[in-house]
Amino acid sequence: MLIDGFENDPLVPGDELLALPGFWAAYLLWLCQTEEDDPDPEWFGVDEADTDAAYEALSDEERWPVFRIPFGGGHTAVVLGRNLADDAGTEYFISHPEWDRHGYLATVDGHQAGPGLSWPELTHIANTADPDSPGVHAPYARLLLLLPALGDADLPDEAAGLLGSALTQAGVGADEVPRLAQALLMDHPLWEPAAWVTPAVSPLSGSRAHFPGILHCDEPGSPRCGIHLAQGITRDQSDRLARALGTWPAT
């Protein structure tokens, strides 16, 4: 499996890992850590053995899992496990076959960068699968895979319910859903909730960093703070990306 920038790395499709009983616990358990609670695999309805087995598969240094999440206009959100022995982490980015380089969303590691997605972008991507492209198509799985890149101070009232529905479809018991939704949405340990805005565009500005429709993040640690999500693309490509993200009019 080849991805630009990772040609010499042992990348493999990660889709089959989603069927492991302990997958979601292994993928999200660390994100549930709060001052009051130490996360437990039982929150996800699995035991430690299943969680450990899934974690070993996710962190295999000889098989780096890649989860492709295709959405509108030929775009693909990518979650890539960078399983280096001394520099492990998870990369989140967006790719398109017409682009020269990826659109950088977030990195989760010892020197994390993010957030990378607003709530409207996250839910729009989750619900606009491209069934003709390979990858993960179930909306609940798409939302949960991209959830660690989320950071949004303006969550709608229905956010907890939508996340709860996704967790239920992932096998979480009804008794645990409210606690998990709270931990994953409101008690995020990586970065502060951010504000997302469409920057004003000066008619005299020729900078591609300020095409309209693509949200910017106000969190200084975000790759999207003050710059375009996908640098070096044309105005038409930017407009298509904004429509695919649901942040720009369809016409």
Q: Mean pLDDT, consecutive 10-residue segments, the chain of 251 residues?
A: 86 97 96 80 95 98 98 97 94 96 93 94 97 96 97 95 97 93 84 85 50 90 92 93 88 46
Q: How far is CA 150 from CA 1, 119, 185, 234, in A?
A: 27, 7, 8, 26
Pair 70, 55: CB distance under 8 Å: no
Q: Please, what sign has the CA dihedral across residues 219, 66, 167, 143?
A: positive
The answer as to whether 4 is a domain residue is: no
The answer as to whether 5 is a domain residue is: no
The answer as to whether 169 is a domain residue is: yes
The answer as to whether 6 is a domain residue is: no
Name 117's bridge partners: 150
The answer as to whether 124 is a domain residue is: yes
The answer as to whether 21 is a domain residue is: yes
Pair 247, 213: CB distance under 8 Å: yes
Per the structure, the count of domains in the chain is 1
The answer as to whether 2 is a domain residue is: no
The answer as to whether 16 is a domain residue is: yes
Query: What is the chain's alpha carbon radius of gyration, rounded to the nearest angstrom?
Result: 18
Label residue 209 exposed, middle or buried (CB < 10 Å: 0-12, 13-18, 19+): middle
Q: What does the alpha-carbon distance between residue 5 and residue 35 come to, in Å, rounded to a whole number? A: 38
**Which range of residues forms the domain containing residue 196?**
11-245
